[in-house]
Amino acid sequence: MASQTAKTILEEMTIQEKIGQLIQLSGDFFQNGTAAITGPLKEHHLSLETIYTAGSVLGISGAERVRQVQTDFLKHSRLKIPLLFMADVVHGYQTIFPIPLALGATFDPQTMHDTAAVAAKESAAGGVHVTFAPMVDLVRDPRWGRVMESTGEDPYLNSVMAKAAVNGFQGKLPLDANHIAACVKHFAAYGAPEAGREYNTVDISEWRFREQYLPAYAAAIEAESLLVMTSFNTLFGIPATANQKLMRDILRQELDFKGVLISDWDAIGETIAHGVAGNLEAAADLSLKAGVDIDMMSFAYAKYLEKAANLDEHTKLLIDEAVVRILDLKVALGLFEDPYRGLSVEREATTILSSDNLHVAEQAAEKSMVLLKNESVLPLATDAKVALVGPGAHTGDLLGSWSWQGDPQKTSSIYDEFKSRFKSVEYAKGCGFHALNYQELDQAVMIGRDSDVIVAVVGLPSSETGEATSLTQLTLPTEQLTLLKQLAALNKPLITVVLTGRPLDLTAVAAVSSAIVLAWYPGSRGAAALTNILTGEVNPSGKLPMSFPRHVGQVPIYYNHYNTGRPISQTADDDENKYLSKYVDAKSEPLYPFGYGLSYADLAVEQLKVLNPIVNDSQNLQVEVTITNHSTISATTVMQVYSHQLVGQTVRPVKELKYFERLSLAPLETRDILVTLPLTTFRSMQSNLQWQVEDGDYTVMVGLDSDNVLQQPFEIRANNKRGQE
């Protein structure tokens, strides 16, 4: 419902001022606090006058700079319509948190919420009004560099995390000065590019899109995300940014999204390259008709200025609708009351990088790291003689992609932390991420030979993750594998720490390592968190939000796959029978499955009881799970509840995550946990593209990963009424 403020201002606006609101410019257009026509973008033909009617800018922050730009802008704005400041605050502003894929590995919505809330507080103090986050694209192909921005391969995990992120960024509406507007992205299904190649075609059925890819966006919109961003890719044969079915029918109609729809960078203009628009005017018309409100840097909407006087009534109506949504966003941010939202250099100084914020970052990093292997070599005694080696051992590059305000120079390295925590640490780089010289290698081998234990920090640099970093190979660079093999030959415990923004093929690493810790890009306090885990001060609890393949040839690989007509049984029979859905040159299962992660404690799911094996339409399924910590140390883990529908109108995933809970267990504690699942949990997408809970036989499974589970049958007799969307 349009606010009175928006309606009143709209009546005052000229058509040029209305079109201006639809234009988002990059920070280049505001040099030294005033508008500027920048060189490289001259071909846009924007005048200074137009710049002063722009609705928003991206990539400017800092209390002083934002105040300067806003003050100058308002001086030149006839109707004093404040500028919106937007930015990519994806996993932290200056306090950088683990990458979102690592936050997914915490399986902890509270952590996702708290990190988003700190990011909001810091970036609001830096003058940011809107963040281009959370990214909730379902991902199943680690060749695609942007898997680091997602929380993984599961629709339910992503939905829970999407909601938590939006609530963290926005707080309870109306927005207060310590919160910012969220912009869920990229709508839609950007995470399914063919061959994992960036910006490539996405071509999935609407049935699969609705069952697997749409839920997390829907969850973010249900959590009242104030903006949505379009995606670069095509879907159902039309670029998302020009796709009326996707944006008008599904997003605005079905999901009832009333907020601002912003294009991705130049995505409107790219409909020309996609081949659905012949020129920029046509591109603008297609996107405006699809309901895109803001044009990020394609200057397509600016084309309307050239014919402003002769626009047809329908176009003018669409422009008015978009302008009202943008003005309402500014009302929601309180910008008409205070265009600076309480901005001050003092507030910025006391808010950013506070010790409390850094503590949130350290705890999030501790919860995100995943212990993949441990042949009783971890945790380490602090009086051990440690050889620390590898390209990631002494670098502040622990922040990962999309950490634009983070400073690796201000980020302590793993070596920095080790020096203060272990009695004896020797460091040698051993090799670069992609470079090897024998002098450095020999140095690493030498200190390894004189040590009790070797810790090798390997992986990929931040620059090789995120947007436009698709890979064809998922193994570590050969230089790093050479280092690991030489170190392994010393027959000392070799603990390999992996820095990565994507699942890698760790087959060769596992073959030579006594232990493997997946550290992701752990953020500003990642080195401290890793040290806390390696010394046993913190017991690892992270679980994989994406399957780790044995080989890139298996990709896309994900746990919630369909059974096929010739499933493997994961028994010896598989080798006997040629005609099965498998590879003949490698195992078909992942190296490490979804939900997998070890603890220093010996934890086990002892029992699963279904309290009501026949569920009718007025009941919930109730299961009781017994979990025991068989060790004398406390531990935290993630209990995971899956289900499988044996027979459905459409094929059903072999298992689907339906519930998860982080559990902390005291030494030798046995705990009974009651889990109640409403019937709608078991809905499935029918071929008529409607959700339905079907009668029939189901299996419920519980485990500490998706592979090793206890299972029990249950039956639903609900007369097929419940679960209608």
Q: Is 347 exposed, middle or buried (0-12, 13-18, 19+ CB in 10 A)?
A: middle
Q: Tell me the Cα Rg of the chain.
A: 26
Closer CB to ligand GLC, residue 294 or residue 498?
A: 294
Strand partners, 453: 386
Q: Cα–Cα distance between 186 and 247 in angstroms, integer?
A: 12
> CB of residue 252 vs ligand GLC: minimum separation in angstroms?
21
End-to-end alpha-carbon separation of the chain, Å?
24
Shortest Cβ contact with ligand GLC: which residue? 132
* C-alpha to C-alpha distance for 133 and 183, rounded to whole angstroms: 5
User: Quick check: 91 binds ligand GLC (CB under 6 A)?
Assistant: no
Beta bridge partners of 672: 626
Kindly give the residue spans of alpha helices, DSSP state H, lying in 265-393: 270-274, 280-290, 313-332, 345-351, 355-368
Site string for ligand GLC, 45-84 (x = CB under 6 A): -------------x--------------------------
| 230 vs 209: CA distance, rounded Å | 16
Report, in Å, the least distance between residue 650 CB and ligand GLC. Answer: 32
How far, CA to CA in Å, does 428 sit from each of 4, 431, 433, 494, 504?
Answer: 65, 9, 14, 15, 24
Shortest CB 266 distance to ligand GLC, Å: 8
Query: Contact 371/542 with Cβ under 8 angstroms?
Result: yes
For 128, the token pair is: 């940011």
- Which positions from 179 through 208 interact with ligand GLC, judged by CB under 6 A? 185
Minimum distance from CB of 265 to ligand GLC (Å)? 4
Residues 404 and 93: their CA atoms lie apart, in Å, by 8
Nearer to ligand GLC, 56 or 357 (CB): 56
Q: What are phi and psi of 240, to 5 degrees?
A: -50, -40
The residue (of 130 and 557) whose beta carbon lies closer to ligand GLC is 130
Scan residues 211-270 and list those touching ligand GLC (CB under 6 A). Answer: 264-265
Helices and strands, number each (H, E), in the chain: 21, 28
* CB closer to ligand GLC, 521 vs 559: 521
Helix (H) or strand (E) run with residue 104 in it: helix 100-105
Judged by beta carbon, residue 89 or residue 324, the one nearer ligand GLC is 89
Per the omega criterion (within 30 degrees of 0), is the bond before 98 cis?
no
Whether the CA torsion 41, 31, 353, 663 is positive or negative: it is negative
Q: Using CB atoms within 10 Å of the CB of residue 671, give its burial: 0 to 12 exposed, 13 to 18 middle, 19+ buried.
A: middle
The reply on whether position 705 binds ligand GLC by CB under 6 A is no
Residue (130 or 387) nearer to ligand GLC, CB: 130
The answer to whether residue 88 forms part of the interface with ligand GLC (CB under 6 A) is yes
271 vs 374, which CB is nearer to ligand GLC?
A: 271
State the helix-helix crossing angle for 109-125 and 155-170, rounded to 10 degrees. Answer: 30
Helix (H, G, I), strand (E, B), or coil: what is residue 481? helix
* Whole-angstrom distance, CA of residue 349 vs CA of residue 334: 23
Contact between 132 and ligand GLC per CB under 6 A? yes
Q: Does 652 bind ligand GLC (CB under 6 A)?
A: no
Question: 137, 141, 264, 328: which one is catalytic?
Answer: 264
Asked if 93 and 141 count as a contact pair (C-beta separation under 8 A), the reply is no
- Which positions from 264 to 303 touch ligand GLC by CB under 6 A, shown as an x/- string? xx--------------------------------------
Q: 3-class SS at 488?
A: helix
Crossing angle (nearest 10°) for helices 214-222 and 155-170: 30
Q: CB of residue 34 vs ligand GLC: minimum separation in angstroms?
A: 23
The residue (of 123 and 599) whose beta carbon lies closer to ligand GLC is: 123
Q: Quick one: tokens of 164? A: 């938590």
389: phi then psi, degrees, rounded to nearest 5:
-135, 170
- Which 671-700 residues touch ligand GLC, going by CB under 6 A? none
Choosing from 222, 467, 695, 715, the residue that interacts with ligand GLC (CB under 6 A) is: 467
Using left for φ > 0, alpha for ψ between -120 and 50, and beta otherwise, residue 708 falls in beta
Task: Write down the least CB distance from residue 601 to ligand GLC, Å.
Answer: 39
Distance in angstroms (rounded) separating the CA atoms of residues 341 and 632: 51
Number of residues that bind ligand GLC (CB under 6 A): 7
* Nearest distance, CB of residue 699 and ligand GLC, angstroms: 39
Closer to ligand GLC by CB, 132 or 156: give it: 132
Both tokens of residue 117? 């809330």
312 is catalytic: no
Q: Which is nearer to ligand GLC, 240 or 709 (CB)?
A: 240
Q: How far is the CB of 219 from ligand GLC (least distance, A)?
A: 19
Active site residues: 264
Residues near ligand GLC (CB under 6 A): 58, 88, 132, 185, 264-265, 467
